[in-house]
Amino acid sequence: MFPEHVTISKVNSYSENTLLSHLDIQFIKIGSDFLIAKMPVNFKTIQPMGILHGGASVALAESIGSVGSNLLIDSKIEYAVGLSINANHIGSAKNNFVTGKGTLIHMGKSTHIWSIEIIDDDKKLISICRLTVMIIKKRKEK
């Protein structure tokens, strides 16, 4: 599914000077039909009660799906952006890392739908997310 020329270092280079770099989100694996990224659970990503902030989990999930969709389209003529996301926060994390695995479940001409599961280092389920990504045609320059 993903182009063979895409490497993890290339994917991580897209994140420089973005929200992903501020949250220390790193892509760690590209599979034939999935994309995996990890994020630390630390002072940047926790809420006042000392557990992973749900918004940080959503940022991880949306990043996985949006980057995944942008890898699948022709970036010369279109781009992909998050349209809608749903997240169910099932567990909590207090330290180490969480890892999100995004799997494309629908690839249409104008939308992609991703299922993203976020787990902690002990493989405990933290969040389940569903992301709809809209594919937008770039405007021709005048």
Catalytic residues: 62
CB 71 within 8 A of CB 63: no
d(CA 43, CA 142): 46
3-state secondary structure of 129: strand
Scanning the chain, the segments in alpha helix (DSSP H) are 8-13, 19-22, 54-72
Sequence-ordered list of residues with C-beta below 8 angstroms from that of 121, at least 6 positions apart, any chain = 96, 97, 98, 99
